[in-house]
Structure 1
Amino acid sequence: MKISGVDIRPGNIIEYEGGIWKAVKIQHTQPGKGGAYMQVEMKNLRDGRKNNVRFRSAETVERVRLDTKDFQFLFADGDALTFMDKETYEQTTLQRDLLGDAAAFLQDGMDVVMELYDEDPISVQLPDTIEAMIVEADAVVKGQTASSSYKPAILDNGVRVMVPPHIGSGTRIVVDTATAEYVRRAD
């Protein structure tokens, strides 16, 4: 489906110069002289390259619809991650760098949504939050106020997060997978 260059929104997947790109940030600019344009920061979904492109309102781009399928994460073998299609039970192996920092949050048996373009995996969406155990947390410094002071902690998957002072080692917490931020204490 063709859309105008100024109608691109963050999260849109577009076809540009033979590649599949995801719009990350946009900025609409109206200079005093000349026509308005949309400055779009894009990320290539195949190789991870980033690009900044200006689109004028007269330009059109092809908006791409991705197929989504439910998969289950099975195991990691070095940089290879193995997933299973929940309908056909076929296994697919992807490289860890396709997921970026989110790969650290994968847990055995986790349900994920894989986005496919022409049956080719483009990205993997993890659940919004996961539960993890804190294995190491700094001690509370006396005199700190609880309102805005957070301390560093390391989770069982090796990810470093900032947690409130009352959270210690051995505590299970809920973590946002997109931002790697503490959400709340797990029930």
Structure 2
Amino acid sequence: MAKINGNEIRPGFVINHQDRLWVAVKVDHVKPGKGGAYAQVELKAILGGTKLNERFRSAETVEQVDLEFRDFTYLYEQGDSLVFMDQDNYEQVELAKDFVGERAAFLQDGMKITLEMHEDTPLGIKFPANVVLEVKEVDPVQKGQSVSSQFKPAILANGLRVMVPPFIAVGERILVDTTEATYMRRAD
């Protein structure tokens, strides 16, 4: 951890404030006519997600936390947990499904993910930008629909429901954006 002045905080910085870890979401630097300059910072708690608006004067110091990014491989699901293996030392870590969230539906055997760690505690998870999934069900295209609204609902192998173009059929493999959970294109 490094000490930085309050006016050096930038969006995305992780700081230790009030014995909790916070990420700076929005930072406004204010220079009033009277008094000293300060940074008005919107903070979001890394664990719990609560928000806090805080004012940091340039003379104040805060601890900037350096996160470690480590690569893991998804192994399997065990009850309410998901098991991952560290690619460097082969140690296994279990994460609650709630920690991973809805995007756990994208996990596939052997998938590489990145965990944001602080003192060996996972704080966040990064998935690959997209995954290839098979289409299991599609609704038929409605006759008379305008060209602009011809996307139709499809259910993928992982149970996810996405909108796809009319030419996509059952059994096809498509590329899906893991951030937005949306169709991108047919898989090669």
Q: Please confirm whether the aligned pair reaches a TM-score higher than 0.5, indicating the same fold.
A: yes
- Listed as ranges, the matches of 1:23-172 within 5 Å are 23=24, 25-26=25-26, 28=28, 38=40, 40=42, 42=44, 44-46=45-47, 48-56=48-56, 58=58, 60-172=61-173
TM-fit CA distance, 1:110 = 0.4
How far apart are 1:171 and its partner, in Å?
1.7
2:7–2:29 CA contact under 8 A, matched in 1: no
Go from structure 1 to structure 2 and tell me whether the alpha carbon gap of 1:54 and 1:169 turns closer, same or farther (over 3 Å shift).
Answer: farther
Unpaired stretches in structure 2, ≥5 consecutive residues:
none
Structure 2 residue 10 is matched with structure 1 residue 8? yes
Q: Using the alignment, how far apart are the partners of 1:80 and 1:102 within structure 2?
A: 14
Task: Tell me, yes or no, if the aligned pair for 2:22 and 2:43 is still in contact at 8 Å.
Answer: no
Q: 1:13 to 1:150 in 2, by over 3 A?
A: farther
For the Cα contact (< 8 Å) 1:75–1:82, is it kept in 2? yes
Query: Once the 2 structures are TM-superposed, how far is the Cα of residue 53 of structure 1 from its aligned partner?
Result: 1.6
Tell me how many residue pairs correspond in the alignment: 183
Counterpart AA for 2:172? T
Shift of 1:56: 4.8
3-state SS of paired residue (1:40): strand
Find the residue that maps to 2:94 and give its secondary structure: strand
What is the alpha-carbon root mean square deviation over aligned residues?
A: 2.7
Instruction: Tell me, in whole angstroms, the C-alpha distance in 1 between the residues paired with 2:101 and 2:107.
Output: 11
Distance 1:17 1:36, change over 3 A: closer
When normalised by structure 1's length, the TM-score is 0.82
- Report the 3-state secondary structure (helix = DSSP H, G, I; strand = E; otherwise coil) of the residue aligned with 2:104: helix
Give distance in 2, aligned partners of 1:89 and 1:6.
38
**What's the offset of the Cα at 1:175?**
0.9
Distance of 1:14 and 1:151 partners within structure 2: 45
Compare CA radii of gyration and give the structure with the larger one. 2
Aligned-residue offset at 1:37: 5.4
Displacement, 1:27?
6.5
Deviations 1:48-106 (A, max 9, x none): 33314243554654322111111111001122010111121111111111111221111
Tell whether the 8 Å contact from 1:5 to 1:61 is kept in structure 2 after alignment.
no
Q: Deviation string for 1:121-153 (max 9, x for gaps)?
A: 222211111111121222111122333443222
Deviation at 1:7, TM superposition (A): 3.7
CA contact (8 A) 1:6 1:55 kept: no
CA distance in 2, matches of 1:13, 1:148: 42
Shift of 1:182: 1.2
